Amino acid sequence: MNEYTLSDGLRAVQRAFDLVDPRLKGHGEQAAFLMWRLLDRMGCSRARMVSLTTAALFHDMGAYKTDADHSLSEFELLHTASHCVYGYLYARFYSPFPSFAPVILYHHMGYLYKRYIDPSFLTDSLLLNLSDRISFVFLTQQNPDFSFLGALSGIEFDPKHVAAFLEADREEGLLQALKDGSYHEKLHAFWRETTLSRSEVMNYAQMLMYSIDFRSEQTVTHSISVMSLSKLLCGLLGLDHVDTSIVTASAMLHDIGKITTPVQILEKKGPLTEEEMAIMKRHASATYEILTELGFDNIALIASSHHEKLDGSGYPRGLKGDEIPFYSRVLAVADILSALIGERSYKGPMPKGQVTAILGAMANRNQLDPIVTSVALEHYDELITFSAEDCAQTMEDYLSIKSEYLRLMQQFEAIEEAQREAPIPV
């Protein structure tokens, strides 16, 4: 693997998110840029700035889950609680910066209501609130008018932060950098100074993986199950540690392209129409597009070829026989096995006899690799137990996220109610 920097890792995740939802294009990076410049001027350490700018980049990620039908203005101004809570939970459970997750939770809590903010995150979340709003106004107004900064100072924003921003803008031209787009290169130059180890790159890959599984309950354990099935298959096939880690990383991200598939199609009960099937199939090339950015160890090609068939009837490229990387053939068996044993919106889990018959028939029809398939059939019970254990943990996390979501939403709604009834003096 070549040297990787934080800029590469964040670019890949950002690219995936941009494919899902163009509403937020540029917003996360603009907020991160402003946050960085303000923190830097306040003497913040580099390590802290790295974590906080990363949190700022993803501060609205909860909107991907909750607000598909709302415009940027709606979820940023009117229905804020849900995306704050989801973004917080996602960052806490699945991101490489869990300790900064509360900054996302409070990023729409104004200065006037600072008593509701955990004091250890007060400054950072108010700074994010300010950076967020400046970018929001910039992206949504034809001729952005920033006089709101003065008007909302002491109400929505900390007056010290507004003063710091105005000074920074005078000295560094922050708004001009947003306008001419130069903020982007400046921010990435800052992130490029942080190199990532292989395991840190995998943390970003994992964060990407959970972003698809997190979207739909139907898919919540699929990537984990394909990952554990492929890992065990690699061992049974005698692959060494390095090869196994390449297959496992590809398995983790094989369906990342599904981040572009509408949830209604992912969760549809009953068979897909021809048109829906065509949309669903696009996930394989989207996987390639996203992973090219992450681009190590050929995983873009391996992962995106998991629906190719030896007889050339697969997709996205219709590759045949040896044209399909061996690692992709391992993924293909693991993927089909996981789909057959798992529950889907349109079917329950299938019994062993039926699963093995389907896999065997596909190998006989020259669709699945015969060696990989026979190893899978021979060790069927072992594979199923191994994957069930891995999935149980993921499901447990998912369920605790769901209950935590409800608990926090109640708390936020109570605060919103109190704010409506009796605005609190500063």
Q: Which helix (H) or strand (E) holds 47?
A: helix 46-57
**Minimum distance of Fe ion from residue 346's CB (angstroms):** 16
Is the bond preceding residue 159 a cis peptide, omega within 30 degrees? no
Residues 59-78 within binding reach of Fe ion (CB under 5 A)? 60
Q: How far is the CB of 270 from Fe ion (least distance, A)?
A: 19
Whole-angstrom CA distances from 227 to 174, 223, 331 are 44, 6, 8
CA distance 107 to 102: 8
Beta strands of 149-290 (E only): which ranges? 195-196
* Minimum separation from the CB atom of position 243 to Fe ion (A): 21
| Closest CB to Fe ion among residues 146, 200 | 146
CB of 240 vs Fe ion, minimal distance in Å: 26
| Range in contact with Fe ion (rule: CB under 5 A) among 6-14, 132-140, 297-305, 336-344 | 132-140
Rank residues 38 and 196 by Cβ distance to Fe ion and give the closer one.
Answer: 38
- Whole-angstrom CA distances from 346 to 183, 217, 268, 338 are 47, 13, 7, 15
Q: What share of the chain is helix, strand, coil (3-state, %, to 5)?
A: 75, 0, 25
Contact range with Fe ion by CB under 5 A, out of 55-63, 120-128, 221-229, 273-281: 55-63
Residue 58 or residue 386: which is nearer to Fe ion going by CB?
58
Pick the stretch among 125-133, 144-152, 165-173, 350-358 that binds Fe ion (CB under 5 A): 125-133
Q: Give yes or no for residue 132 binding Fe ion (CB under 5 A).
A: yes
156 sits near Fe ion (criterion: CB under 5 A): no
Instruction: Please list, in sequence order, all residues whose beta carbon lies within 8 angstroms of the beta carbon of residue 188, skipping any fewer than 6 positions away.
Output: 7, 11
Residue with tokens 């989207």: 286
CA distance 363 to 179: 57
Residue number, 103 or 196, with CB nearest to Fe ion: 103
255 binds Fe ion (CB under 5 A): yes
Choices 58-66, 144-152, 262-270, 391-399 (CB under 5 A): range interacting with Fe ion: 58-66
199 Cβ partners below 8 Å, 6+ apart?
Answer: none
The alpha carbon of residue 241 and the mean position of all alpha carbons in its chain are separated, in whole angstroms, by: 27
Minimum distance of Fe ion from residue 289's CB (angstroms): 14
Choose the binding region for Fe ion from 6-14, 129-137, 227-235, 386-394 (rule: CB under 5 A). Answer: 129-137
Query: Among residue numbers 261 through 320, which ones bind Fe ion (CB under 5 A)?
Result: none
Binding site for Fe ion (CB under 5 A): 60, 132, 255
